[in-house]
Amino acid sequence: MSVPKKKCVFLDRDGVLNEDCPDYVYDLKDLVIPAGVPQALQMLKKAGYLLIVITNQAGIAKGLYTAENVYIIHEAMQQASENALDDLYFSPYHPQFSGASLSRKPGSLMLEKAIAKYDIDPELSWMIGDRDRDMQAGKNAGVRTIHIVPDTEKSEGDYAAANLLDAAEIIVKISA
């Protein structure tokens, strides 16, 4: 008897779980978690999804901050969401500073590693992000995608949503 594979929502960080800012979010004083994010994460957990953060952190390659800063922000997000997040994958690379890396989105290596580690079924899983590269990474890994975009922008995702709470509602409705 085989164990059923798990379902997962892969989450971009900046622009999805927290407000993005042009100079990177690596200091707790700059961390702003939008209204509805903790509620959305809890909704997805209750629906049985693993929640895994998949984020490019090029500021590390640029020497602006360290991996420790990424973990500090992640811990603050865990506290805000009642420890809803199951894991964190980040790519510390930038092509102009550290060379190319398959882990950097739009590459799908971070998702593929999580899929293998947690025995995730891509057909039951999702990628939520605010950039085209997030949609490409999700599609490359074989998961459905939800693009967080303003109504005025064209979406590259399978679905579009205004924010994480809207995206969570789409997923729960479709998977019900």
Does 14 participate in catalysis according to the annotation?
yes
Task: Give Cα separations from 67 to 12, 50, 91, 113, 151 (angstroms).
Answer: 17, 23, 10, 19, 34
Task: Give Cα separations from 42 to 47, 51, 106 (angstroms).
Answer: 9, 10, 27
Does 134 participate in catalysis according to the annotation?
no
Are the beta carbons of 171 and 44 closer than 8 angstroms?
yes
Are the beta carbons of 10 and 143 closer than 8 angstroms?
yes
Describe the chain by its helix, strand, coil percentages, rounded to 5. Answer: 40, 20, 40
Active site residues: 12, 14
